[in-house]
Amino acid sequence: MPAVVRTREELAEARAAAGGSLALVPTMGALHEGHRSLIREARRRADVVAVSVFVNPLQFGPGEDFDRYPRTFDADLRACAEEGAALVFAPGREVMYPTEPQVTVRSGPMGARVEGVTRPGHFDGMLTVVLKLFNLVRPDVAVFGQKDAQQLAMIRRMVLDLNLPVEVVGAPTVREPDGLALSSRNRYLSADERATALALSRALRAGADAARGGPEAIAGAARAVLAEAATAEPPLTLDYLVLVDPATFLEVADAHTGPAVLAAAGRVGATHLIDNLPLDLGAPPER
């Protein structure tokens, strides 16, 4: 089993004893196959893998699901052991935030775009805890999922702007056989809600299939799928569908060529779901 450390002092001792290069996989627990794939990628990148498990209150807004967010530590620990992680950092709130934070990370203009419109302040809280984890664990490499594409872009920007000595690696989204992107929140969905939620991935694939027609064709194909889902029972309530630059999350121009991200988010019942698909405009669509 991995060594489990819960305090800063225990973490410092374990980090000093680790030796070699270290890769960190930050998580909020409720680990699934997507997280397992991140741990496997981390093992390819470093001698030692550490996984953090901490449900970060700063990135949940009023009325969001902080209290009901799944906490499955025993199962998470078994998953870490099976995937070869050597260290699990599982701090309590009092360890990460011994006092009410007064100085935090501000996500800037990028943090107010796309998902930031739906969840104001979310990226401030996310970047604050990631910076704290980087400072505490001192990883050489940190691995995050492409499924949270805007989060990945923001972390890369923070590392660049603050000169942090961490290599940030993005790993591909892992999906269920029917296309639904794996998420800890999927367990909230009833069978009918899950059937509706599949419209997100179908819309992205439809947009990818229309990629040769450019941004307008991509958006039109995706929106046609989402319009049908809006009339389903239960319906999908769309928060956004955007085609953006993967580095800035600004919407791309109609004449854009090169890398882009088609991102979508919506609510089915009480569950907020996000998904995205990387595209290369001017090249065959990625499937």
Copy the structure tokens of residue 212: 């040769």
29 annotated as belonging to a binding site for a ligand? yes
pLDDT of 137 over the 90 cut: yes
Provide, rounded to the nearest whole percent, the portion of the chain with pLDDT above 90. Answer: 95
Q: What is the pLDDT of residue 285?
A: 46
Give the up-direction half-sphere exposure of residue 178: CA atoms within 13 A in the CB hemisphere.
8
Q: Tell me: the pLDDT tens digits for 60-101?
A: 999 899 999 999 999 999 999 999 999 999 999 999 999 999
Q: What is the pLDDT of residue 255?
A: 87
Among residues 199, 242, 238, 196, which one has the least CA distance to residue 218?
242
CATH number of 186-277: 3.30.1300.10
Model confidence, pTM: 0.94
Q: Is 216 annotated as a binding residue?
A: no
190 has a pLDDT exceeding 50: yes
Give pLDDT, residue 284.
43
Name the CATH code of domain 3-171 (choices 3.40.640.10, 3.40.50.620, 3.40.630.30, 3.40.30.10).
3.40.50.620
- pLDDT digits over 57-69, tens only? 999 999 899 999 9
Asked if residue 31 belongs to a known ligand binding site, the reply is yes
Domain ranges of the chain: 3-171, 186-277
| Joined tokens for residue 8 | 């800063």
Can you give the pLDDT at residue 259? 96
pLDDT of res. 282: 81
CB 279 within 8 A of CB 263: no
Q: Is the pLDDT of residue 286 over 70?
A: no
Q: Dump pLDDT digits (tens) for 33-48.
A: 999 999 999 999 999 9
As annotated, the active-site residues are: 35
